[in-house]
Homo-oligomer: A and B are copies of this chain.
C-alpha cells in the first residue's frame, strides 16, 4: 500500500521499543516533511552514537571519553563495595537523579518473563557473575562487595528476574537487598518520581 522505501522504513521503526506500525508510519511521514537539515542532523547523530559512545567495562553504563570506566565507576567518592543491579540505562539515570545512592551500578540489559534459557541469555548474567567474583579484572578496586541491591522494576518480569538474580547470587554470600516497597506494585523506575525512588532507596532491606 505504501511506497517500498516508506514500507521498509516503517518496518524498521516498528522494531523500536514501544513503537507499533501506526506510530512508525507517522514517524516516516514526519521525516518526509522534515527539513533536510533536520534529517542530516538525525543521520549524523545516529552514526556517531556507536562511534562516540561506549559502554563502561564494569557496569555497561554508556559514556563518552577515552577511559575504560564510566564517570560513576571512575568517581573516587563512590562506594565501590556497594553495587546496584538495574534493568536498563534509564533506571540508572532515575536512581542517579535522587543523588542519594553512592555505590556503583550494573546494567543487566533487560528482564526475563519466563525463565527460559533463550531469554536469560539476553541478560548480562555471566558478565554480572564475573564482575562480582573479580571486580579488579574489570577496573574496579574494592575490598569485596558488602551489599548487592537488586533494583529491578516491581513488575512481573522485574520480580521474576529479581528472584532469579537472588538465586544465582546466593553462592557469593554477599548481603542482597531490594528497593523498599515505597514503590507501588506495577510501577516502573523509569516513570517513578524522585521522592518515591528516594524513599524506596532509604527503605531498602
Give me the interface of A with B, judged by CB distance under 8 Å: 1-6, 8-9, 12, 15-19, 22-23, 25-33, 36, 38-39, 41-43, 45-50, 52-53, 55, 62-64, 88-90, 93, 96-97, 109, 190-191
Q: Are A22 and B62 in contact (CB under 8 A)?
A: no
What are the residues of chain B within 8 A of A190 when measuring CB–CB? Answer: 22
Which residue on chain B has the smallest CB distance to residue A18?
B23
In the complex where A29-B88, A46-B43, A64-B3 touch, is A17 in contact with B23 (Cβ < 8 A)? yes
Q: Are B50 and A90 in contact (CB under 8 A)?
A: no
Q: Are B97 and A48 in contact (CB under 8 A)?
A: no
**Shortest distance between the CB of A13 and any CB in chain B (Å):** 8
Q: Are A25 and B64 in contact (CB under 8 A)?
A: no
What are the residues of chain B within 8 A of A15 when measuring CB–CB? Answer: 38
What are the residues of chain B within 8 A of A90 when measuring CB–CB? Answer: 22, 25-26, 29
5 tightest A-B contacts by CB?
A: A3-B64, A9-B45, A17-B26, A5-B52, A29-B89
Q: Are A5 and B53 in contact (CB under 8 A)?
A: yes
What are the residues of chain B within 8 A of A55 when measuring CB–CB? Answer: 32
Query: Can you name 14 extra interface pairs (CB under 8 A) apart from A9-B49, A25-B89, A39-B50?
Result: A2-B62, A5-B49, A5-B64, A6-B53, A9-B45, A12-B42, A16-B30, A19-B23, A22-B190, A26-B88, A29-B62, A29-B88, A31-B49, A39-B47
